[in-house]
Amino acid sequence: MSTYSTLANFAQTVGLLYFVGMFLAIAAYAFWPRNKTRFDEAAKIPLREE
């Protein structure tokens, strides 16, 4: 194998793992029970008439 192909394959694999990890971290943050009240309040902001 050439060096370029090896490096490109490694970068694609690491990039995929990075983005999957980031997605899982963001999903865990969004669905964490402690954050429910914060997100419920944020969802009601457009409906307030102040």
Q: How confident is the model at residue 2 (pLDDT cuts 50, 70, 90)?
A: confident
The conformation of residue 24, written as its DSSP 8-state character, comes to H
Q: Where are the domains of the chain?
A: 19-50
Distance CA 50, CA 39 (A): 20
Task: Give pTM, 2 decimals.
Answer: 0.69
Q: Is pLDDT of 13 > 80?
A: yes
Burial category of 41 from C-beta neighbours within 10 Å (exposed 0-12, middle 13-18, buried 19 and up): exposed
15-47 confidence digits (pLDDT tens): 999 999 999 999 999 999 999 999 999 999 999
Q: Is pLDDT of 49 > 90?
A: no
